[in-house]
Amino acid sequence: MTKPVATQNRGITARLLDQPYLMLILAPLFWGGNGVAAKLAIGEIDPFLLLATRCLGALLVILPFAWPHLRRDWPVVRRHWPLLMAYGAIGYALFNVFLYVGLKTTTVVNSSIEQAALPMMILGANFIVFQVRARALQVAGVIIAISGVILTATHGDPTRLLRLDINMGDAYVIVACLTYTIYTLALKYRPDVHLMSFLGVAFAGAAVTGLITLQLFGGGLSQFANLAHASPKVWGVLAYVMIFPSMFSQIFYARGVELLGANRAAPSHNLIPVFGTLLSVLIIGEHLELYHYLSAAIIIGGIVLAEWSARQPK
């Protein structure tokens, strides 16, 4: 992994990348805006076209910055390129395509609250996959937080779960969260390359995945021709998602995980519902319902319980 280099002559960007907590505030801020941007474009651009354009654009944006590092890391990249591309396919492309499809039939507020369960999903997955020890109260916190997600997904009526009457948009967002859980845990096996080399190859994997999903589910690659008639709003959305949640959030989150570890970085996702909800209310004009407040309180309670238990002496 890349280590911070202590020197008095470091640039602002280098010093910024050594501030993990700042990174883990900015990343969810831009991710919160991702859902708002996608919702603004609903009805004007197909979700699969949005994803493919975003992934290709992000790759073109990051390549000039990643190229010098890719040249130095090429021996390692050549050995591990399938794994590096898989990170992009799962963590960037699949997560966002499920999110974008979900936002066609659910609100940004719902999707933001559901993404608040990510820390608990990661904690639970660590326990199941890596047998990371968890206390009884941590397990209880996970169950409580997940119950808050169920309340959101059923729009305040958990009996709908028994009837299998769940909004498909919310279901897609939950699947998106599961894909990002897999991505976060897989960062444990990230090859020893520079962060920019990692992101350059990962974005290539995301771009390939985006093109495949567009070809299979979005009407084919000919849909790119529709961009010639896109409105300024759509181009603004594309510019935002290509740069901020794609490049900056991924760099900041990956660097935060690198410096603090997956478990300590995961709670930063708790800020996604805060930023996502605020932005959706301010920009889109969405309204908060009673079940949103109840769900948020339940999820926060579960997270606090799990975090408090983890900090108690053994």
**Radius of gyration for the alpha carbons in the chain, expressed in angstroms and rounded:** 19
Residue 23 lies in a domain: no
Residue 14 lies in a domain: no
The number of folded domains in the chain is 1
Please report the pLDDT score of residue 139 as a whole number. 74
Please report the DSSP string for 117-152 in residue order: THHHHHHHHHHHHH-----HHHHHHHHHHHHHHHHH
Provide the H-helix boundaries in 188-289: 195-217, 232-243, 249-260, 262-265, 271-279
Residue 202 to residue 112: CA distance in whole angstroms:
25
14-47 burial code (b ≥16 CB/10 A, e <16): eeebebbeebbebbbbbbbbbbbbbbbbeeebbb
Residue 171 lies in a domain: yes
Q: What is the pLDDT along the chain (314 residues), one digit of tens a residue?
A: 444 444 444 567 677 777 888 888 898 899 889 999 999 999 899 999 999 999 999 999 999 999 999 999 999 999 999 999 999 999 999 999 999 999 998 888 888 888 877 777 887 787 777 766 667 777 787 778 778 777 787 777 777 766 666 788 988 998 999 998 999 889 889 999 998 899 999 999 999 999 999 999 999 999 999 999 999 999 999 999 999 998 888 788 878 887 887 767 766 777 777 788 888 988 998 888 888 888 888 887 877 777 677 666 66
Q: In a 3-state reduction of DSSP, which class is residue 46?
A: coil
Model pTM?
A: 0.82
Residue 4 lies in a domain: no
Residue 259 lies in a domain: yes
Residue 248 lies in a domain: yes
Number of H helices, E strands in the chain: 15, 0
Residue 18 lies in a domain: no
Please report the pLDDT score of residue 6 as a whole number. 44
Specify the DSSP class assigned to residue 91: I
Range of the domain at 239: 28-310
Please report the pLDDT score of residue 197 as a whole number. 93
Please report the pLDDT score of residue 291 as a whole number. 81
Residue 12 lies in a domain: no
